[in-house]
């Protein structure tokens, strides 16, 4: 007789609702009309799993995928994904061989990087299609406005590179309408100048999730949508509307104990019980992405009730107070993130942004796709 070991899944896990993700893409496409849609899948699709999310996005008709670094693009290619993949930031010159080998679209904003792409394209006998990042006010990557036309002319003067598109980025969309409007005007004006000189720019893109939600004035040829496709508003206190939450993080109670008044919990004795307290241990910690700054501030859901995080969050475990929640037992489900405890709830508690909350849910947490 043969026995096969079937490993069980870790109780702390990330559940990804692909039906909700599909619905969000459908909502975005309906609002965009015929405008192209780039789904941002960098940072492991904001913690949702880049390969699974990208595969589903492409199946739903998304036109482009956006990654942050070369390795993320290679991961998609090696998973068999053939859709256009744009690297949203300029890489170092030493990465040009891989960029071209894996048919990734680079973002370019420096002369040296452009020349390196041209040389490597010639070596590999491939014309490199690229995007130019135009700095209209972000102050990060980007060609300066007064250098933009010269940069375009230089691209058109060399043989192994070709302009696929021009994009820019907003620092305060959804917050500062006037500054954002000035960026849009600057972007459109420079594009018009280039096209009046006979320079072809197939794709023009400046809209991110926040600008897209604020209005269509920023949507030109392609919207680059990230957080909103995962059902999270990029704008504080704005309801995501018809966009549905995609991620749920859950676990199970692994241990329960009763402590008397004066007894402390966890490192640094940052929590000392003022009453007889029932403590439940949840096997998720800062090594999994559950931020240590939620110590004594965060909360989880047990049996539909809020349970306060008590004591310092540790690498592998978090303690919660279940004193006032009846009939809790080991193995009961604990909700860490969902529509009741949103990424914004957690971000507001510790003074950060929801991007950081979901991106931190690391690969130590298994993902279950439903």
Per-residue b or e along 85-122, where b marks 16 or more CB atoms closer than 10 Å to that residue's CB: bbbbbbbebebbeebbeeebbbbbbeeebbebbbebbe
Structure tokens at 334: 């604990």
Tell me if 100 sits within 8 A of 117, measured CB to CB.
Answer: yes
Tell me if 18 sits within 8 A of 58, measured CB to CB.
Answer: no
Q: In 10 A of CB 255, how many CB atoms?
A: 12
Q: In 10 A of CB 301, how many CB atoms?
A: 19
Q: What's the CA gap between 244 and 322, in Å, rounded?
A: 30
The angle at the Cα of 76, spanning 44 to 42, to the nearest 5 degrees, equals 30
Q: What is the 3-state secondary structure (H, E, C) of 225-264?
A: ECHHHHCCCCCCCCCCCCCCCCEEEEEECCEEEEECCCCE
Catalytic positions, please? 42, 267
Tell me if 317 sits within 8 A of 284, measured CB to CB.
Answer: yes
Q: What's the CA gap between 339 and 358, in Å, rounded?
A: 13
Structure tokens at 231: 């059902």
Q: What's the helix, strand, coil split of the chain in %, to 5?
A: 35, 20, 40
Terminus-to-terminus CA distance in the chain, angstroms? 34
């Amino acid at each position: 007789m043969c026995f096969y070991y079937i490993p069980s899944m870790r109780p702390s896990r990330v559940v990804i609702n692909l039906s909700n993700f599909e619905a969000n893409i459908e909502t975005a496409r309906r609002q965009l009309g015929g405008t192209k849609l780039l789904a941002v899948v960098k940072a492991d699709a904001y913690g949702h799993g880049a390969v699974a999310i990208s595969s589903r996005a492409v199946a739903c008709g998304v036109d482009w995928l956006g990654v942050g670094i070369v390795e993320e693009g290679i991961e998609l290619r090696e998973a068999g994904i053939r859709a256009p993949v744009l690297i949203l930031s300029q890489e170092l010159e030493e990465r040009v061989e891989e960029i071209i080998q894996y048919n990734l679209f680079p973002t370019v904003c420096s002369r040296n990087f452009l020349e390196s792409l041209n040389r490597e394209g010639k070596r590999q006998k491939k014309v490199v299609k690229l995007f130019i990042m135009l700095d209209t006010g972000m102050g990060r990557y980007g060609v300066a406005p007064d250098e933009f036309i010269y940069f375009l002319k230089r691209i058109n003067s060399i043989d192994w590179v070709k302009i696929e598109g021009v994009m820019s980025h907003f620092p305060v969309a959804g917050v500062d309408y006037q500054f954002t409007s000035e960026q849009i005007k600057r972007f459109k004006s420079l594009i018009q100048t280039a096209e009046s000189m006979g320079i072809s720019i197939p794709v023009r893109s400046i809209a991110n999730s926040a600008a897209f939600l604020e209005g269509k004035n920023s949507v030109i040829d392609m919207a680059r949508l990230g957080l909103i496709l995962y059902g999270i508003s990029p704008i504080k206190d704005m309801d995501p509307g018809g966009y549905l939450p995609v991620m749920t993080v859950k676990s199970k109670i692994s241990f329960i104990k009763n402590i008397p008044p004066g007894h402390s919990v966890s490192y640094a004795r940052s929590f000392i019980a003022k009453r007889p307290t029932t403590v439940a241990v949840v096997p998720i910690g800062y090594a999994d992405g559950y931020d240590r700054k939620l110590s004594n501030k965060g909360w989880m859901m047990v049996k539909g009730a809020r349970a306060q995080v008590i004591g310092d969050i540790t690498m592998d475990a978090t303690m919660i107070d279940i004193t006032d929640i009846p009939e809790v037992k080991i193995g009961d489900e604990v909700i860490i993130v969902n529509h009741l405890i949103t990424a914004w709830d957690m971000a507001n508690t510790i003074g950060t942004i929801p991007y950081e909350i979901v991106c931190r849910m690391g690969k130590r947490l298994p993902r279950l796709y439903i």
